[in-house]
Amino acid sequence: MVKVEDYEVPENLYYHKEYLWASVENGKVKIGMTDFAQKQLHDIVYVELPSVGDSITQNEPFGTLESVKAVSDFVAPVSGTIEAVNEELESKPELLNEDPYGEGWVLIVAPTNLDAELKEILNFDAAVEWHKELAKEG
């Protein structure tokens, strides 16, 4: 784990510039929101997610979240079929703020084009540099 300013950037994850992370585990991809995003949005009060069996497409919206500051889309870091949805977020959307890399995960997907799509998003080293840029803009 690296801290860039006040933002946590865990290793072994991929990062999408729409502020989601992707973790490859046993051929599946777990997706969640970055620490940077949850701190920018402040208190998250509502989450709307797709259903198990639905498909998501890289760079396309797949759900929404509402915070005290804004309504935002979740944008897919990779394409695939949804195998699990963190249903706890429906009743406890604040998990995205409290534990964005743990209990606040969003989806697990069976990827359809993983190797090619991982090349289109940021690896850890690139994500650290990106977070440094975000922190400067900040």
The pLDDT value recorded for residue 109 is 98
Distance CA 21, CA 77 (A): 7
Q: In sequence order, what DSSP letters do the residues of 80-101 get, joined into one string?
A: EEEEEE-THHHH-TTHHHH-TT
108 near 29, Cβ under 8 Å?
yes
Flag residues of the chain having pLDDT under 70.
Answer: 138
13 near 124, Cβ under 8 Å?
yes
Q: Determine the residue type at 99.
A: D
**pTM, 2 dp:** 0.96
17-48 pLDDT, tens per residue?
999 999 999 999 999 999 999 999 999 999 99
- Domain chopping of the chain, boundaries: 2-125
Task: Look at strands 107-111 and 28-33 and give their pairing.
Answer: antiparallel
The pLDDT value recorded for residue 32 is 98
14 near 77, Cβ under 8 Å?
yes
CATH number attached to the domain at 2-125: 2.40.50.100
Beta bridge partners, 122, equal 15
The pLDDT value recorded for residue 138 is 67
